[in-house]
């Protein structure tokens, strides 16, 4: 699809810098487990390694920080023409490469770079950061939507934020409208019955053996002919404590717009509800790690809150005159807070992601405790 849209591409004159997960061995029965990306790399034909970097040996290393150092040393001398990996972890790697080489941008290291194939998390909070280190007007960003359970959709045109739903990949699709999800009125509909601009949970049946399996993602249809979608979040990662129906798509877009207005860059964030107590109204509490701490956090907080209201009418209604929700609460995270949290959870690198939204405060409280410990230290 990419080559069809870019006939002058020189993609295969160089290598693809791939950033996959780790592979480990079950000692008791000699079987492997790990991230799908690592298992795929380990089972590819030998010729696939010739067009990729780093080597399989480095790609499959299990210890993230050693793996990161090894990737830097292997890749900086290659002719890299493309990237493939999750935006959050790829950004960590690319910043490390810039630090190690002392270069101002990636094109000074790899002048033939032309495309980044990304997926796993929303690209919107990271888009401007990538544009800064890839200052090339015709550089392409292509999104793919796959998981352990199947390959679902692919960006099929340049400069698009929509994904073509693949109907011939051995997957039968059904959908649950999110306005009934988890209620006694929950219903399942066919692909032929979906509507534009409504959020649905995906249910799949596959020729690999899954039967009416919920993969946990939510999508919104942007076109019905052909079927094109946008991934809007996770069935478990949303906030609807006060009827605000906040989706990850809302918060990712709000973060991107607030950063554009304030000139800031966000590395990671998570959001949880502040529950009503007595006469006190509820709110949303955010903890955000910035690349550089804002000089005026209150300005960013207000901008983010107002932007979110323009993107989600239910949130706006609850925020109107502080009727149900008070203004959002902002915690500015210390440097590397989210990295340290993932390290403590043994989830560095690979396909591991920060949970963006939650209907309870478990993740947020863990992060706040680590924030306090770090500041005291």
In a domain? residue 110: yes
In a domain? residue 25: yes
Note whether 204 and 261 are same-domain residues. Answer: no
> How do residues 160-218 score in pLDDT, each as one tens digit?
889 999 999 999 999 999 888 888 999 999 999 999 999 999 999 999 999 999 998 99
Place of tokens 């002919």: 225
Note whether 229 and 252 are same-domain residues. Answer: no
- What is the mean pLDDT of the segment spanning 333-357? 86
In a domain? residue 153: no
Note whether 7 and 142 are same-domain residues. Answer: yes
Indicate whether 141 pLDDT > 80: yes
In a domain? residue 154: no
Mean model confidence pLDDT for the chain = 90
In a domain? residue 371: yes
The sign of the dihedral angle between the CA atoms of 253, 259, 265, 266 is: negative
Note whether 140 and 258 are same-domain residues. Answer: no
Beta-carbon contacts of 320 under 8 Å, excluding residues fewer than 6 positions away, are none
In a domain? residue 157: no
Beta-carbon contacts of 238 under 8 Å, excluding residues fewer than 6 positions away, are 218, 245, 246, 247, 248, 357, 359
Note whether 51 and 188 are same-domain residues. Answer: no
Note whether 327 and 289 are same-domain residues. Answer: yes
Note whether 179 and 263 are same-domain residues. Answer: no
> How do residues 366-377 score in pLDDT, each as one tens digit?
999 999 876 554
Range of the domain at 259: 248-376
- What is the mean pLDDT of the segment spanning 297-308? 96
Note whether 140 and 11 are same-domain residues. Answer: yes
Structure tokens at 197: 């601009």
Note whether 265 and 329 are same-domain residues. Answer: yes
> How do residues 212-250 score in pLDDT, each as one tens digit?
999 989 999 999 999 999 998 887 788 888 888 888 889
Note whether 8 and 41 are same-domain residues. Answer: yes
| Domain-ending residue, one of 174, 206, 234 | 234
Report the length, in residues, of the chain.
Answer: 377
In a domain? residue 48: yes
Cβ neighbour number for residue 142 with a 10 Å cutoff? 21
Cβ neighbour number for residue 225 with a 10 Å cutoff? 5
| Domain-ending residue, one of 86, 120, 147 | 147
Indicate whether 82 pLDDT > 80: yes
Note whether 16 and 94 are same-domain residues. Answer: yes
* Spatial distance between the Cα atoms of 286 and 258, rounded to a whole number of angstroms: 14
- Report the CATH number at residue 30: 3.40.50
Domain count, the chain: 3
| Domain-ending residue, one of 115, 147, 179 | 147
β-strand partners of 171: 206
Note whether 20 and 90 are same-domain residues. Answer: yes
Question: How large is the angle between the packed helices 248-262 and 297-311, nearest 10 degrees?
Answer: 130
Indicate whether 335 pLDDT > 60: yes
The pTM of the whole model exceeds 0.85: no
In a domain? residue 21: yes
Question: What is the rounded radius of gyration, in angstroms, for the C-alpha atoms of the chain?
Answer: 21
pLDDT at 26: 52
- Report the CATH number at residue 274: 3.30.300
* Spatial distance between the Cα atoms of 198 and 89, rounded to a whole number of angstroms: 30
């Amino acid at each position: 699809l990419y080559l069809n849209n870019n006939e002058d591409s020189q993609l295969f004159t160089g290598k693809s810098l791939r950033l996959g997960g780790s592979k480990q061995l079950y000692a008791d029965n000699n079987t492997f487990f790990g991230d799908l990306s690592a298992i795929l790399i380990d089972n590819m034909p030998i010729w696939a390694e010739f067009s990729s970097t780093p080597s399989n040996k480095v790609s499959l290393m299990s210890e993230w920080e050693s793996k990161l150092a090894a990737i830097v040393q292997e890749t900086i001398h290659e002719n890299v023409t493309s990237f493939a990996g999750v935006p959050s972890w790829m950004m960590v790697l690319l910043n490390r490469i810039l630090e190690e080489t002392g270069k101002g941008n990636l094109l000074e290291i790899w002048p033939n770079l032309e495309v980044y194939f990304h997926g796993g998390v929303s690209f919107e909070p990271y888009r401007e950061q990538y544009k800064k280190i890839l200052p090339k007007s015709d550089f392409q960003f292509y999104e793919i939507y796959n998981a352990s359970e199947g390959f679902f959709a692919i960006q099929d045109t340049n400069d698009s934020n929509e994904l073509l739903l693949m109907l011939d990949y051995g997957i039968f699709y059904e959908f649950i409208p999110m306005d009934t999800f988890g209620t006694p009125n929950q219903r399942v509909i066919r692909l032929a019955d979906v509507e534009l601009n409504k959020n649905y949970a995906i249910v799949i049946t596959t020729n690999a053996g899954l039967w009416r399996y919920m993969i946990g993602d939510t999508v919104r249809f942007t076109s019905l002919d052909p079927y094109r979608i946008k991934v809007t979040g996770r069935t478990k990662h949303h906030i609807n404590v006060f009827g605000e129906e906040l989706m990850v798509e809302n918060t990712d877009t709000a973060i991107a717009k607030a950063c554009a207005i304030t000139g800031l860059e966000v590395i990671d964030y998570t959001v949880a509800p502040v529950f009503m107590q007595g006469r006190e109204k509820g709110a949303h509490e955010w903890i955000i790690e910035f690349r550089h701490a804002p000089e005026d956090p209150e300005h960013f907080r207000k901008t983010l809150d107002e932007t979110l209201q323009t993107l989600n009418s239910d949130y706006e209604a609850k925020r109107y005159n502080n009727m149900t929700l008070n203004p959002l609460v902002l915690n500015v995270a210390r440097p590397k807070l989210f990295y340290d949290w993932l390290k403590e959870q043994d989830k560095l690198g690979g396909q591991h992601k920060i949970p963006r939204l939650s209907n309870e405060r478990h993740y947020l409280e863990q992060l706040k405790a680590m924030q306090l410990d770090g500041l005291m230290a």
